[in-house]
């Protein structure tokens, strides 16, 4: 497993732990503000993970371009759309 993959997996596990914590907060009837704060942190975490994955894919496109220029451009366009969609 590549270093980047391990980093993404670790971030996902941390986010998973945050989500479990939020479930417990809801079960323990914690304040709405505290729950929303934690949900916002999870959203930010997921956004960062998405950014890392898209950036890594773009980097791969530039470092190892596809033989077919049209395919290469399609991959780059797809990555750009994923960034904009975010």
Domain boundaries, the chain: 3-85
Q: pLDDT tens, 3-30?
A: 888 999 999 999 999 999 999 999 999 9
* Residue 86, pLDDT score: 57
Which fold does the domain 3-85 belong to in CATH?
A: Methane Monooxygenase Hydroxylase; Chain G, domain 1 (1.20.58)
Which pLDDT band holds residue 1 (cuts at 50, 70, 90)?
Answer: low
Q: Which helix (H) or strand (E) holds 86?
A: none
Q: pLDDT tens, 44-63?
A: 999 999 988 888 888 888 88
For 10-60, the DSSP string reads: HHHHHHHHHHHHHHHHHHTT--HHHHHHHHHHHHHHHHHHHHHHHHHHHHH
Query: Which one is predicted more confidently, 30 or 69?
Result: 30
Distance CA 39, CA 84 (A): 22
Give pTM, 2 decimals: 0.77
Q: Which helix (H) or strand (E) holds 68?
A: none
Residue with tokens 């797809």: 78
Tokens read off for 38: 């934690």
* Residue 12, pLDDT score: 97
């Amino acid at each position: 497993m590549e270093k980047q993959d391990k980093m993404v997996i670790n971030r996902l596990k941390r986010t998973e732990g945050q989500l479990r914590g939020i479930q417990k907060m809801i079960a323990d009837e914690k304040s709405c503000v505290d729950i929303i704060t934690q949900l916002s942190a999870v959203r930010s975490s997921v956004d960062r993970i998405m950014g890392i994955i898209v950036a890594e894919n773009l980097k791969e496109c530039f470092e190892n371009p596809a033989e077919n220029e049209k395919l290469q451009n399609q991959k780059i366009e797809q990555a750009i759309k994923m960034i904009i969609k975010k």
